[in-house]
Amino acid sequence: MKQILQHLKSGELEIADVPCPRVGHGMILIQTRASLISAGTERMLVEFGQANLLQKVRQQPDKVRQVLEKLRTDGIMPTVEAVFRRLDEPVPLGYCNAGVVLETGSGVLDLLPGDRVVSNGPHAEIVCVPRNLVAKIPDEVEFDEAAFTVLGAVALQGMRLAAPAFGEKFIVFGLGLVGLLAVQLLKANGCEVAAIDINEKRLALAESLGAKVISAASSGDVVASANAWTAGRGVDGVLVTASAKTNEIMHQSAQACRQRGRIILVGVVGLNLQRSDFYEKEITFQVSCSYGPGRYDDSYELKGNDYPPGFVRWTEQRNFDAVLNAMRNSSLRAKQLISDRFDISNAGAAYEKIKSDSGTLGVILDYPEKVEKRRWTEVTQTAFSGIGMPVVGIVGAGIFSKNILLPELKKTSAKIAYIAAGVNAAAAKHAAVKFNIGSAITDYRIILDDPEVNAVFVVATNNVHAKMTCAALEAGKHVFVEKPLAMNRDELDAIEKSVAVAPDRLLMVGFNRRFSPHVARIMNVLKSRSEPLCMNMTINAGALPPDHWMLDFERSGGRIIGEACHFIDLMCFFACSSVKKVSAIMATDAACAREDRMSIVLGFADGSIGTVNYFANGSGAYPKEMIEVFSEGRVFRIENFRTTRAYGVPGFKSFRTPRQDKGHTVELDTFIKRIAAGGGQMIPFAELRNVTLASFAAVESARSGKTIEL
């Protein structure tokens, strides 16, 4: 199927051939019939992609600060590589989609194949969208009108925040699509509206929709015009729907308001506000967030948990419904806003017109009625068969796959036949092209069913690790699963059963740090030790935003099970012993316990002890990982896996690598060689099980206040 992608690094706009997304629980698969280009937002993305590197830096000052912090901790080359990897990611364009339901996932009971719907899906022939971001189109509304629904909801949410009353006078500042939709919604709400812009054609259109118009280009004094319109009282409120860098729009909006007027920012303008403008009139200012309540809330959008109407009357989905009903009763006329139409195959011309023609307004993309629902896209014609040849499939096209796994696998003898992504088909296709992978797919079962594939890499979200590991082992494949192996004891027990029925298959968990050359240097000295070790590992994990998937326990299992298991494994490796006892405590405050601010004390079978301090409240300027091993008058210290120092060890010079080396290269090379040549497990399953149980015990101990015996 076709999908429009913007490459931020090169500026190229691509109409890509990508596999059809796979419908999951609570999701809806939709064949697109029409989509609307959001000229303001999408033009900014295209222009950013086409800007040179210096211009990109100037547009992203917050990102520059993050880069400087990474420079201090990781060095120049890793930072440069990370920046260019980030820019190399293609961005799907579009979020105003209308089409027909093809399939519904489990849990979706109120929509059926054939239903006409709108969604915030991208410009693609087939999209997959969560139920709460989909609304049914009334019979009276055509697809091209319905494609304006999402932008209509943006305008409607801004209006709801302004709380207009019948008979009030409002200004709409900026007459792009959102502004012209806002004019109509305010009129339908019984308000008088003055529309301000510099584009005469858009002013004429606003006037035809019932607004008084004020030209910011020719009338000179916008504030004087507004005051004359209100007999000197000032307007009741302003919806700022413009896109501009100037601060003057906010100043003029405040000047035009009455005492205790309201200003709602829907667009993007300069916000160097003048205090006197707001202080003297006690003006209320608020920024509107997209389509309405529920936006950016994963519980609502991804998990389908709706807000009760009695408490949250207007969610983003109910705003979609309200806009569609306004279209049905003709109080919102979208067809008048359509200026151009293009076929999806000619999308490049559509974006060129938006960039070059200021008269362009609503640009509709049309789609074919028949689209092949194919869940794979062949990228290379490479032959993968061959006795002993490692042929692998990868499940997951996220950051770890693209930044770590694939670059390292390319150094080995492995042939990569497939890369799978569930919904983000564009990510799988981009990775397949970049790393010369046979096919991009959106159904991982294709990998399991291919007899030529002898190994599967499971690098999807944590909540599917166990399920996919079991399925791959039972399909007769070797398995490399990124940590954690499992999120709970039931999953771990299921894996143990699958391991028992496939004893000749390799099962490796991504505990890469034990393969680092820094660790190897220390182990070379410790091999002759005669006493237990004392170990301390401090992890400056960094705080995550509240909506980060690692803080969603249903998807990740939490940061201790999902990340701190690395360091439990490393201690087991240093001690050459299993964990027998776990005691943990986490920081608490008045609001809640902080699992990602935890100290874990481990007791080992050989008498060694270790402490993992996993803290998320430190500075990014401090190294992320500091590891200390105390043994028989000696101390070893690994600093961020770039420098290893030894104290009390004659002849041991400080060891430094040009960049962080956390062991991925040796780990993956060893795994691939064992697939080809044979050999035992890289880490015995008993050790993998012990480390996983110890991570469960750490969380249990911190919550219960008890020491856990394994």
- Domain CATH number, residue 569: 3.30.360.10
Instruction: Tell me the chain's radius of gyration from C-alpha atoms.
Output: 29
CA 63 to chain centre: 16
Three-state DSSP class for 599? strand
The answer to the question of residue 313 being in a domain is: no
Tell me the two tokens of residue 153: 């909801």
Cα separation, 202 vs 196, in Å, equals 9
Both 228 and 106 in a single domain? no
- Which two tokens mark 538? 């401090």
Q: Are 469 and 458 in contact (CB under 8 A)?
A: yes
Instruction: Tell me the C-alpha distance between 353 and 39, whole Å.
Output: 10
Please tell me whether residues 493 and 574 are part of one structural domain: no
pLDDT at 240: 97
pLDDT lower than 70: segments of the chain: 43-88, 218-220, 381-388, 590-593
d(CA 648, CA 253): 70
- What's the per-residue H, E or C state across 552-564? CHHHHCCHHHHHH
- For CA atoms 569, 574, 578, 580, give the dihedral sign: negative
What 8-state DSSP symbol labels residue 401?
Answer: I
CB 121 within 8 Å of CB 31: no
Which of these, 511, 697, 512, lies nearest to 600 by C-alpha position? 697
C-alpha span between 570 and 576 (Å, rounded): 10
Task: In whole angstroms, give the CA distance from residue 118 to residue 133.
Answer: 8
**Which residue(s) pair with 507 in the sheet?**
479
Q: What is the 3-state secondary structure (H, E, C) of 78-135?
A: HHHHHHHHHHCCEEECCCCEEEEEEEECCCCCCCCCCCEEEECCCCECEEEEEHHHEE
Cα–Cα distance for residue pair 636/641, rounded to 1 Å: 12
DSSP state of 514: G
Residue 699: CB partners within 8 Å, gap ≥ 6? 558, 560, 561, 584, 595
pLDDT of residue 76: 58
Domain assignment present for 312: no
Phi, psi for residue 655 in degrees, rounded to 5: -110, 130
Q: Are residues 505 and 571 in the same domain?
A: no
Strand-pairing partners, residue 635, are 630, 647
Residue 621 is predicted with a pLDDT of: 85
User: 248-275 burial, b if ≥16 CB within 10 A, otherwise e?
Assistant: ebbbbbbbbbbeebbbbbbbbbeeeeee
Sign of CA dihedral 268, 170, 256, 229: positive
Place of tokens 């009390």: 648
pTM for this model (two decimals)? 0.86
Strand pairing partners for 268? 243
Looking at residue 90, its pLDDT comes to 85
> What is the structure's pLDDT at 56?
44
Assess whether 590 and 691 both reside in one domain.
yes
Q: For tokens 């596999």, what's the residue?
A: 19
Report CA-CA distances (Å) from 440 to 160, 393, 407, 425. 43, 10, 17, 8
The predicted pLDDT at position 73 comes to 56
Is 211 in contact with 186 (CB distance < 8 Å)? no
Q: Is residue 498 part of a domain?
A: yes
For residues 526 and 641, state if they share a domain.
yes
Q: How far apart are CA 225 and CA 227, in angstroms?
A: 5
Q: What separation, in Å, do the N-terminal and C-terminal C-alpha atoms of the chain show?
A: 51
DSSP 243: B
**From CA 580, how far away is CA 180, in angstroms rounded?**
67
My answer on whether 569 and 696 are in the same domain is yes
State the number of CA atoms in the 13 A half-sphere of 688 facing the CB: 24
639 found inside a domain: yes
**Around 505, how many Cα atoms within 13 Å sit in the side-chain half-sphere?**
23
Count structural domains, the chain.
4
Q: Report d(CA 186, CA 461) in Å as an integer.
A: 44
Six token digits for residue 329: 């009763």
Domain with 444 in it: what CATH number?
3.40.50.720
Alpha-carbon distance of 252 to 305, in angstroms, equals: 41
Task: Look at residue 245 and tell me if it is in a domain.
Answer: yes
Among 461, 486, 509, residue at a domain's last position: 509
Cα separations in angstroms, 652 against 288, 524, 636: 60, 11, 10
CA distances from 593 to 18, 538, 551, 585 (A): 43, 20, 13, 10
Q: Does residue 293 have a cis bond before it (omega within 30 degrees)?
A: no
- Max Cα separation, the chain? 93
Whether 329 is covered by a domain: the verdict is no
Same domain, 539 and 626: yes
Q: Is residue 453 domain-shared with residue 574, that is, in the same domain?
A: no
At residue 614's C-alpha, the angle toward residues 610 and 616, to 5°, is 165
Which SS3 state, helix, strand or coil, does residue 346 take? helix
Same structural domain for residues 528 and 632? Answer: yes
**Amino acid occupying residue 433:** V
Burial class of residue 427, CB neighbours in 10 A (0-12, 13-18, 19+): buried
> Domain end: 509, 530, 565, which one?
509
Helix (H) or strand (E) holding 259: strand 257-265
Its sign, for the CA torsion 356, 360, 362, 367, is: negative
Q: What is the mean pLDDT of the chain?
A: 91
Total Cβ atoms within 10 A of residue 160: 19
Question: β-strands 27-37, 126-130: how paired?
Answer: antiparallel
- Contact status, residue 535 vs residue 571, Cβ threshold 8 Å: yes
Which residue has 């091999």 as its token pair? 527
Q: Which two tokens stand for residue 459?
A: 């690098």
Task: Give me the DSSP letters along 142-180.
Answer: -HHHHTTHHHHHHHHHHHHHH---TT-EEEEE--SHHHH
Whether residue 404 contacts residue 664, with contact meaning beta carbons closer than 8 Å, is answered with yes
Residue written as token pair 């990109």:
56
Same domain, 131 and 163: no
Whether residue 605 lies inside any domain: the answer is yes
What is the H or E stretch that residue 426 is in? Answer: helix 425-434
Which structural domain range is residue 401 located in? 386-509
The answer as to whether 87 is a domain residue is yes
Task: In the chain, count H helices and then E strands.
Answer: 26, 32
523 in the same domain as 636? yes
Place of tokens 């999807």: 460
**Which of the listed residues 287, 320, 355 is the one where a domain comes to its end?**
287
Residues 184 and 54 in one domain: no
